[in-house]
Amino acid sequence: MNDNRSTGMTRRALLGAFAATTVVAAPTFANAAGFLRGAGDIRRIRMYSGRTGERLDMIYWIEGEYISDAFKELNHFMRDWRTDDVVKMDLRTVDIMAAAHNLMDVNEPYMLLSGYRSPKTNAMLRARSGGVAKNSLHMKGQAADLRLASRSVNQIAKAAAACHGGGVGRYSGSNFVHMDCGAVRTWGG
């Protein structure tokens, strides 16, 4: 076994260098949450956007610390694609998303349908559908609507609900799950 101390390379530095090479688009998080049980020393999020064609596959947390360089990328990726407005996403939501993904033991990235929503976009969607909340957590950067081709809405929702980190909505008719870092609750079918 090599002694990394002789080269001046620490495990943290090595992991940081590795994480920097995996950042495709992504970023921010709050303090580590207990619902990421079994996540280990590294947390990763994988998503793609069918709307913009962008992909994100990044390590955003190493050994108890969020990687601040990843925040800007994640915020941009989860922007309101209709208006290009960007806000600071609440990292608790990203933690819930990552934890649910880990619980499902899949390699497939989430398809992000909606992250941040500007008030203008939320009002437009609300006018089209009764299922859009007037004071949606999407407008605060605290929610995401996600889908996986390899898992059902029920499977994704059960994994998210098992995290006990926020709200989980099942939208079976539209084939997506809403995850947020608000009060712990579930709805939909």
Q: How many CA atoms lie within 13 A of 158 on its CB side?
A: 7
DSSP 79-98: SBTTTTB-----HHHHHHHH
pTM, two decimals, is 0.78
If pLDDT is split at 50, 70 and 90, which confidence band does 6 have?
A: very low
Is 50 exceeded by the pLDDT of residue 3? no
Query: Averaged over 18-26, what is the pLDDT?
Result: 37
Contact between 144 and 179 (Cβ < 8 Å): yes
Per-domain residue ranges of the chain: 4-188
- pLDDT tens for 28-44 read 333 334 445 444 578 99
Contact between 66 and 28 (Cβ < 8 Å): yes
CATH of domain 4-188: 3.30.1380.10
Contact between 19 and 72 (Cβ < 8 Å): no
For 107, the token pair is: 């390699």
Alpha-carbon dihedral 19, 182, 119, 113, rounded to 10 degrees: 50
pLDDT value for 69: 87
For 67, the token pair is: 């990687």
